[in-house]
Structure 1
Amino acid sequence: MGEEFGIVEKLRAMIKGLNPAEKKAARYIIDFPDDVIHHSISELSVLAGTSETTIFRLSKKLNFNGYQAFKIQLARELSRESPPISADKNKLISDLIDALNQQNHLIDDEQLDRIAKRMVKANRVIFFGVASSGIVAEFGATLFMRAGFSTAFYTDPHLQIMTAVSLNWDDIVFGISASGNIRDTVKSIEVASDSGAYTVAITGGIGSRIVSVSKETI
């Protein structure tokens, strides 16, 4: 591939010429590139509503030998293009606040009351998130720490799992994922739920995998 255009840019340029199944895959990759690098080919095919063969064929059209080579290059490009966290943080937090304000009419007051009561009683308030969702996790932990809660955030998948195993009924965990299908975050929340912790998904992916393993979703 040339250096001028990355994978996402190439997909945007070629999407009109793709068949319907390939377009589904391309749109998912364009919309959730940070998620894609965590998915296997079978996971991506399910989430994009297409087949593994389609994903493989699209990888070949992008001049890769297969899906794994495609995913490695996408991860490199995302790493290269991502600004430092300090430069990106304010915008992400601002976008989050705007999104919550826009969805305010959809938020269940009784649900928020339940979550708030659990937080007040909680021994620990934990936030899980990877990539850009990790920045939001840090923001959440910092915000509630300033309010007097005992908080922590984890953006490394291995630390998330290690922490999830150690939790119990008097801990509350927020799992943050835009799509709701990040494998590492979903697994960490699932383990936290199994450990007895009160788990809350913060996601735009209604009906997503993280919703199915969480006790609450906002």
Structure 2
Amino acid sequence: MASLLSDIRTKYNLLSKTQKTIADYILDNPDATILLSITELANYCSTSETTVMRFLKKLDYDSYQIFRVNLAKELIDSPSETINEEIAEGDSTSDIKRKVIKHTNTAVSDLEYSINQKDIDQCAEMILNARRVTFFGIGASSAVAIDALHKFGKIGLNVNGFQDSHLMNIHCSHMTSEDVLFVVSHTGESVEVLNAASLAKENGAKIISLTSFSNSSLAKKSDVFLSSSTNDKKYHSEAMASRIVQLVIVDILYLSVFMQNEAKFYKALNQSRIAVSLNKT
């Protein structure tokens, strides 16, 4: 069962600007929150009680009192869950190191609750049964797509990928129902990935998306959506923790596929290692 705080973090990207203010206050001050009335919490966040209740609805709570009781219980049961501190002006390198490590560890731990096992199983089956799997991402997301291409290619699957959007569109225009397009995009709104997904879908290919926004255009085009949502902090570069989460999801999916036929894929992996060793002295 997902913890309350992890639920806030993984749903963070679905919140409005005002709701994110409430989420930030609770995540940064969980101990103080359990002592506040709904009116006091609204005042601290410069908003209304109605907005606080809309925020709670996103977390599937109909009662502020029940929310507060569950939060208090969570703080007693799992004190290490709190707090993910924001990097502040004047922080030493040691402070920055500690805060970044804590935030990243928390984001990865939240995957235990945010990724549905059925979705992983479905993705693994789609990859195993595909004639060919193509990986695609633009900008920082291309690094995650290349990592996936590298891992699945090493075990002998028929995979490819492009960083050039023109080549990607050409390739997707010739996909078939036997193909899978694996698309990585933090926002799920990059024009290049949406164009590629649309072309692939028109030709009957299956779409797996790895993105941080479940309500994004890319997620809606996908047969399976894998969520990499985190509440990246103010001073983090775009999707810093989300990128790490995406790499972990790729690893989970890779190993899920690998263990479906361990003997076969281990043999292929060794062949790849021998081939790569030719380039080493």
The normalised TM-score by structure 1 is 0.53
Matched, 1:201 2:209: yes
* Counterpart in the other structure of 1:92: none
Matched, 1:133 2:141: yes
Query: How is 1:148-163 mapped onto 2 (pairs within 5 angstroms)?
Result: 148-163=156-171
**3-state SS of the aligned residue for 2:173?**
helix
Change (3 A) 1:196 1:97: farther
What is the deviation of 1:148?
Answer: 2.1
- Mapped partners of 1:104, 1:188: distance in 2: 30
- Mapped partners of 1:134, 1:169: distance in 2: 24
What is the deviation of 1:105?
Answer: 1.6
Q: Deviations over 1:159-210 (max 9, x none)?
A: 1111111111111111110111101101101111111111011000220111
Amino acid at match of 1:205: F
Tell me the number of residue pairs that the alignment of Structure 1 and Structure 2 aligns: 125
Query: How is 1:1-218 mapped onto 2 (pairs within 5 angstroms)?
Result: 101-218=109-226
What is the deviation of 1:147?
Answer: 2.0
Aligned-residue CA RMSD in angstroms? Answer: 2.3
**3-state SS of the aligned residue for 1:206?**
coil
Change (3 A) 1:139 1:99: farther
Counting aligned pairs with the same residue, the percent is 22
- Mapped partners of 1:98, 1:168: distance in 2: 39
What is the deviation of 1:99?
Answer: 5.0
**Where in structure 1 are there 5+ consecutive unaligned residues?**
1-19, 21-94
Amino acid at match of 2:149: A
Contact 1:190 1:214 in 2 (8 A): no
**3-state SS of the aligned residue for 1:207?**
coil
Contact 1:169 1:196 in 2 (8 A): yes
- Mapped partners of 2:200, 2:113: distance in 1: 29
Change (3 A) 1:169 1:135: same
Higher relative contact order (CA 8 A, sep 6+): 2
- Mapped partners of 1:99, 1:116: distance in 2: 23
**3-state SS of the aligned residue for 1:166?**
coil
Amino acid at match of 2:181: V
Contact 1:127 1:174 in 2 (8 A): yes
Bigger mean CA deviation after superposition, 99-108 or 162-171: 99-108
- Mapped partners of 1:128, 1:180: distance in 2: 12
**3-state SS of the aligned residue for 1:148?**
coil
- Mapped partners of 2:106, 2:146: distance in 1: 18
- Mapped partners of 1:100, 1:115: distance in 2: 20
**3-state SS of the aligned residue for 1:217?**
strand
**Where in structure 2 are there 5+ consecutive unaligned residues?**
1-16, 18-102, 227-281
Contact 1:125 1:171 in 2 (8 A): yes
**3-state SS of the aligned residue for 2:160?**
strand
